[in-house]
Amino acid sequence: MRVIDLDEANKGIFSMCLEDWSADARVGAPRRARWVERSLPKGLRAKLAVDDDGRVGGMIQYLPIEHSCVDGEGLHVILCTWIHGHPQGRGNFQGRGMGSALLEAAEADAVRRGAKGMVAWGIWLPFWMRAKWYRNRGYLKADRQGLAVLVWKPFKADARPPRWYPRRKEAPATVPGKVTVTSLTSGWCLAGNLTCEGARSAAAEFGDRVVFREIDTSERPAVAYWGRSDALFVDASEVRIGPPPTFEKIRDVIASRVRRL
């Protein structure tokens, strides 16, 4: 196994989060590819793990905290560490040490770039994106927001711990007399992109009875205002997006609100 940098040759598979076999990935990838191009000049870095047969089996992406969904200074933030674990496509690469190799390479790169520490996030329950995986590798708890735990590893003595932005309590504005579907989306997460595109398509099925709005949270002022990078609202009600809701689920929620008009 070896770890390589993101380059033009692997941008496509990186934008699909290694799931080039997936129809859902093809829906969310164009938005993610645009986010990649916007974020590279801001310091986005990514590395991929390649096995002895030349197959990409894992990836990690990180960038300066000032361009992330986390509040802090002088640190780098890991948005996602992902080892392909599906039987489809390239197959299951989990359990081969790719995650640890990617994390070590990313930390070393961040140190070379002058970062005071590395930040990551995960779920405190034992399923997808476990915070415990990072804590087992020397990361300390910094903050928690619902199920999401923010962890960090300081590299320098003057590093200050990061924190989640506080979530805004009120919902986005609605249009009187219509159902308003609002998607907060940053573009970095394939699952979040799929939710946004699914909501857009579902809203379109109801014609002028439903208004679809998209709020770009890829810039720091927007994510600081809303306190999150990805969310979905139908009128004032927030729709749970973890795990990502199916198109049918989103359409049913909208239909329920339309019947009340």
CA distance 130 to 94: 14
Predicted TM-score (pTM) of the model is 0.92
- Write out pLDDT tens, residues 216-258: 999 999 999 999 999 999 999 999 998 889 999 999 999 999 9
Helix, strand, coil % over all residues of the chain, rounded to 5? 35, 30, 40
CA distance 78 to 173: 32
**CATH classification code of 2-164:** 3.40.630.30
Q: For residue 41, what pLDDT is reported?
A: 97
Q: 174 to each of 23, 178, 182, 184, 191, how far by Cα in Å?
A: 32, 8, 9, 14, 25
Domain ranges of the chain: 2-164, 179-258
Q: For residue 244, what pLDDT is reported?
A: 87
Q: Is 129 left (phi over 0), alpha (psi -120 to 50) or beta?
A: left
Distance, CA of 6 to chain centre: 17
Backbone φ, ψ for residue 77 (5° rounding): -115, 130
CA distance 236 to 234: 6
- Write out pLDDT tens, residues 89-139: 889 999 999 999 999 999 999 999 999 999 999 987 666 678 999 999 999
**CATH classification code of 179-258:** 3.40.30.10
Residues whose CB is less than 8 angstroms from the CB of residue 105 and which lie 6 or more positions away in sequence, other chains included: 3, 47, 60
Q: For residue 126, what pLDDT is reported?
A: 64
CB count in 10 Å sphere of residue 112: 8
